[in-house]
Amino acid sequence: MAFAYLEDLHSEFYDQYGRRVATVTRPYSFIEFDTYIQKTKKSYIDSRARRNLGNINTELQDVQRIMVANIEEVLQRGEALSALDTKASNLSSLSKKYRSDAKYLNTRSTYAKVAAVAVFFVTLIVYVRFWWL
């Protein structure tokens, strides 16, 4: 960029004053060229600023794209966690139901075993009573 600026100044100076350089006798003979220098300097600075703004805009778009992707990932994780929470609560309720069913079946099994033992003893007592009498 700097070399382009200097090349532009060189070519313009040479076009306007190239033949007169050898004949100059006083200092600051080409002071009027300063306006062209300032105008060109301003245009190069503005173009550099526009390019910098373009770079900044591109970088901001990249950051925006990354942030949108991150937010989408967070939302997807939230949905997954919500689904897991729902499944966990379903599993918890199924676990409680299984536990109560297991208690009921264990109690029922215990009653059946006690009844079988009672029937055995009653049968034994009846058999012994009628056998021995």
Q: DSSP string covering 59-107, please?
A: HHHHHHHHHHHHHHHHHHHHHHHHHHHHHHHHHHHHHHHHHHHHHHHHH
Quick: pLDDT tens for 97-133. Answer: 899 999 999 999 999 999 999 999 999 888 888 877 6
Q: What is the Cα 28 distance to its own chain's centre?
A: 62
Quick: pLDDT tens for 50-78. Answer: 676 677 778 889 999 999 999 999 999 98
Quick: pLDDT tens for 25-39. Answer: 777 777 888 888 888
pTM value > 0.85:
no
Query: Where along the chain do its domains lie?
Result: 2-132
